[in-house]
Copies of this chain bind each other. A is one copy, B any other.
Amino acid sequence: MIVKVVLLRYQMRMTDGPQTPARIAELLVHVGRAARSEDTGSELTAAQWTCLRFLARANGSTRTPSCFASFQATTRGTASQIIKSLERMGLVTGTRSDRDRRSVSFDLTDHGRAMLMQDPLRDLISVIDGLGTVERDRFLKTLSHLASTLAMHRDLPVFGTCQDCMHFAPSGDTAYCACMAEELAAVDLPKLCASYTPTRDPMSQGDQNDAD
């Protein structure tokens, strides 16, 4: 029996007391949890979806089991299993790196890209897409602040994009990554990189100013 009701409002009018932050936090994890689950027969598990998304968004040297493990804050063994399950389904294929013969980089197949079109996160994405640009930017700013501060507290690794990285040096058409010591393809610029290093201190005023 599913009670179909509509508006969720975790109390916002009367009490502005100290439990409001707790409500916000609970609501955040609730939404995060709800967004990943799927009512109509799930094709993949939550971990598999997350892995598929990660492999789609990370650059060449980051699409590895190890990097996914640290991204998910799990063990390499578990990461390896998840990736292998995706490989068995024909959603990703691995190729060994020439630079380091141990490491394997996984790419999405056409089948994998097609599967990503049915990502259960699609619902949440479309709702976010419906927000106004101002509201969306504000939301992203606050959310990324929460993410970075929380990651700092927990000593969690952080993945950012090459174009925001300290090692990033644009050079004409392509760009150079001082960390990997190699040229970056244009397609990799907006992708996640494990060796990402922020350009500024997170707690500085940088987060507060650049949208005004």
Interface residues of A (CB under 8 A from B): 1-16, 18-37, 39, 50, 53, 57, 70, 73, 121, 123-131, 133, 135-161, 163-164, 189-190, 194-202, 210
Q: How many copies does the complex hold?
A: 2
Q: Could you give 17 example pairs across A and B, Cβ below 8 Å?
A: A2-B70, A3-B194, A5-B157, A8-B144, A11-B161, A13-B163, A14-B190, A21-B128, A21-B129, A22-B121, A24-B143, A27-B143, A28-B28, A28-B32, A123-B153, A127-B146, A127-B150
* A137 CB to nearest chain B CB (Å): 8
| Bound complex: CA A5 to CA B31 (Å) | 26
Task: Determine whether the beta carbon of A124 is less than 8 Å from that of B25.
Answer: yes
Q: A35-B25, A139-B142 are in contact. Are A202 and B6 (CB under 8 A)?
A: yes
